[in-house]
Amino acid sequence: MAKLFGTDGVRGVANLELTPKVAYDLGRAGAFVLSDFLKYKSKILIGKDTRISGDLLEAALISGICSVGIDVDLVGVIPTPGIAYLTKKNNYAAGIMISASHNPFYDNGIKFFNKNGYKLSDEIENKIEEMIFDKSDNLPKVTHEKIGSLFYKYNLLDDYADFLENSFGYLDLSDFKIALDCANGATFKIASRIFKNLGAKVYVINNQPDGININLNCGSTHIAGLVKFTFENNCDIGFGFDGDGDRCLIVDSNGKIIYGDEILSIIGCYMKSKKTLKQNTIVTTIMSNLGLFMMGKKEKINIIKTKVGDRYILEEMLKDNYNLGGEQSGHIILSDYNTTGDGILTALYVSKIMFEGGKKICDLNNMQVMPQVLVNAKVSNVKKNDYLSNIEIKNAIKSLENEFGEAGRIVIRPSGTEPVIRVMLEGQNKNLLNQAAMNLANLIEKKLK
């Protein structure tokens, strides 16, 4: 069967790969499945980021959903975590976010959340795909008064903003100068307002979206602009969001970038000190920096590793009731507050830690970042997993592991999207890491040629 869903919804070049027809089909099948096969009259919430193609795909989604008798509430431009929060809070059958996250403007995506505000399981995604590709087309085509209706609920953005603003009780940020980079994306309407309402002196860049400048040399994926802006304006801290607002990276007052692993370390140590870190555990991925695991050992915090992808982190958190997880990219999940990564929420939580401790972010960062080198070994897709059975490659990996001991780490991971095997090495000497990573990648290419 053909495959629509990737690791984070359906994504592609808007109007070329992700066409109105695809959006219409997703609307029909998604509404049917997520409303429990039309057993009850329900509504679906739709939001979007600032891409020029958002209106195109939104109209097609609405048509598909209404065609099976489900009503639609439109909230307009809103961060992805806002859709997750509002879907659960207001008992929608589902929430849909139109966004390609940190991708360029010409890409777009359609991401579903179930009634509890979580991303869909593989099982539900497969059901939706089966209905779309079923040539018998047994989905209902309702008529007369049963056709779904459209309602404009732009005020729901304020409900989400209020939730963020009031999540941490009394929070006075009047002593802080805070820089924000909104990536010309979904946070541009509310991020500045929230921090100003909490008393901060706010300096904002990249909050004038025009449909094509989302993520363009700005935001968490292009952080250099925020580094310069934070330092030049003598700000205490800078927060950089991505296009759909589910990621946050930090810049300190010295212009140093604080990535997701360090953010996890800062929040995790604070939560442990307050006895709110469930089971003293942080969930992250195999690609996290070795320094995070060293911090965990020092602070007696368990660090659990999953496959790469926030959905796998969340699955692990739900399975064993953990409440903090995230990735190096700045996708931080604080499950006591929301069901998915939330960039503004992360920024507010870090601000809360600074407010309570009266410290700068650079004084709170207790994780030593270890040098990390990533090299791609080019192999064919059919041979990407063969490194596991090649004796010479296995011996080379084992030899490096013995050489590094606890002061280094090797991660070998076949790419899910490209004909490459990713070779990631960490340790204390970057020059040695570079050479060792290149040697290992060359060996993999040679043996799997």
pLDDT in tens, 249-261: 999 999 999 999 9
How does residue 416 score in pLDDT terms, banded at 50, 70 and 90? low
- Tokens encoding 267: 């929040």
Structure tokens at 282: 């942080």
CATH superfamily to which 159-364 belongs = Alpha-D-Glucose-1,6-Bisphosphate, subunit A, domain 3 (3.40.120.10)
State the average pLDDT for the chain.
Answer: 93
CATH code of the region 372-447: 3.30.310.50
pLDDT tens digits along 265-294: 999 999 999 999 999 999 999 889 999 999
- Look at residue 92 in the predicted model and tell me its pLDDT: 95
Band of residue 211 on the pLDDT scale cut at 50, 70, 90 = very high
pLDDT band at 237 (very low <50, low <70, confident <90, very high): very high
> Does pTM surpass 0.85?
yes
Query: In this predicted model, what pLDDT tens digit does every residue of 95-140 receive, in sequence order?
Result: 999 999 999 999 999 999 999 999 998 899 999 999 999 877 788 8
* Token pair of 62 as six digits: 């609405």
Which of the four pLDDT bands, split at 50, 70 and 90, describes residue 75? very high
Q: What is the predicted pLDDT for the residue at 68? A: 93
The continuous run of DSSP H or E covering 44 comes out as strand 43-48
Please check the confidence at residue 223 and state whether its pLDDT lies above 80. yes
Phi, psi angle pair for 178, to nearest 5°: -120, 130
Indicate which residue of 67, 101, 167, 351 is catalytic. Answer: 101
Spatial CA neighbour of 194 closest among 164, 237, 220: 164
What pLDDT does residue 138 have?
80
Please answer whether residues 46 and 72 qualify as being in contact, where contact means their C-beta atoms are separated by less than 8 angstroms.
Answer: yes
Catalytic residue check, 101: yes
Superfamily of domain 10-154: Alpha-D-Glucose-1,6-Bisphosphate, subunit A, domain 3 (3.40.120.10)
Is the per-residue pLDDT at 1 higher than 60? no
What are the boundaries of each domain within the chain?
10-154, 159-364, 372-447
Residues of the chain with pLDDT > 90: what percent?
78
Mean pLDDT is lowest, of 172-176, 202-206, 392-396, for 392-396
Is-same-fold flag (10-154; 159-364)? yes
| Cα–Cα dist 204/188, whole Å | 9
